[in-house]
Amino acid sequence: MRILYCGDVVGRSGRQAVLERLGDLKARLKPDVVVVNVENSAHGFGVTAKMAEEFLAAGAQALTTGNHVWDQRDIIAYIETEPRLVRPLNYPRGTPGKGYALIDAGRGRTLLVTQLMGRLFMDALDDPFAGIDELLSRHRLGANLSILVDIHAEASSEKMSVAHFLDGRVSAVIGTHSHIPTADGQILPGGTAYQTDIGMCGDYDSVIGMNKSIAIAKFTRKMPTEKLAPAEGVGTLCAVLIDTDDATGLAKAIRPLRLGGRLAETMPE
């Protein structure tokens, strides 16, 4: 199975980078499943139902979120009716939506997409390690089932710990949230693909996708400033391309993709 996973979409620049290029990328790379993290799509804070529909219409088959999942009010009702929109698994029982989605990858294959939220320097949620253990007790890797785990967290140590905890039990553990692409894409000893952060889809002439002047003022003035807003220059699309073995579900390859904007481009062959 081939999976294309696009990192955190930030504002209009990020939306354009994904929506305008996704068709060509699907034709060129031929992924079986496309997943997009959309949690910063709506002016940097959350995603609207309309935007989620645009990503799905453009060819995404699953959408992940993160700590900004509830920032747009209309998403609360929408997430109850759209199973392809995934919120973090380790929210408390009774939270709207689901923490995973089962996506038809064709030819009898299925991709389970789930997301965990870290707890270091973030809101205190339920234990992500216990949450994923419970989910994996019901869905076993292999026999045409691949499993993609998004770890949405601040600390690289927490992301790496989740990856090694799950090594050999899932196809890939991929980090989001920090908006900076890391150079550590690898296959762990047990066969799980890992990268600490995909990077964002957005304008890199910014502070993690947000207007740099406003962000700098927040650090230097220590006084109320205008609300953070996304930078609106040309966006870079950051993604990873993951290949898995249909029989075992384990990873065969993980490769970075960067296209457009300010970062040096790299395209999987």
pLDDT reported for residue 223: 81
Tokens describing residue 145: 């089932």
Q: Supply φ then ψ for residue 186, to 5 degrees.
A: -160, 165
pLDDT reported for residue 224: 81
Amino acid at 206: S
Q: Catalytic pick from 68, 152, 177, 179? A: 68
Strands 100-106 and 2-6: unpaired
List, edge to edge, every strand of the sheet that includes 85-86. 85-86, 62-64, 33-37, 2-6, 237-244, 251-259
Q: In degrees to the nearest 10, what's the CA dihedral of 192, 193, 196, 200?
A: -140
Q: How far is CA 45 from the centre of its chain?
A: 15
Per-position pLDDT tens, the chain of length 269: 999 999 999 999 999 999 999 999 999 999 999 999 999 999 999 999 999 999 999 999 999 999 999 999 999 999 999 999 999 999 999 999 999 999 999 999 999 999 999 999 999 899 999 999 999 999 999 999 999 999 999 999 999 999 999 999 999 999 999 999 999 999 999 999 999 999 999 999 999 999 999 999 999 987 888 899 999 999 999 999 999 999 999 999 999 999 999 999 999 98
pLDDT reported for residue 222: 79
The answer for residues whose C-beta is within 8 angstroms of residue 223's C-beta and 6 or more apart is none
Q: Is 145 helix (H, G, I), strand (E, B) or coil?
A: strand
Q: Is 206 helix (H, G, I), strand (E, B) or coil?
A: coil
Give strand ranges (E) for 177-260. 186-187, 193-195, 237-244, 251-259
pLDDT reported for residue 269: 82
Set out the domains of the chain in order of their start, with CATH numbers.
2-259 (3.60.21.10)
The residue count of the chain comes to: 269
Longest dimension (CA), the chain: 57
Residue among 113, 185, 181 at smallest CA distance from 150: 113
pTM of the model: 0.97
**Is 68 labeled as catalytic in the residue annotation?**
yes
Residue among 257, 135, 246 at smallest CA distance from 195: 257
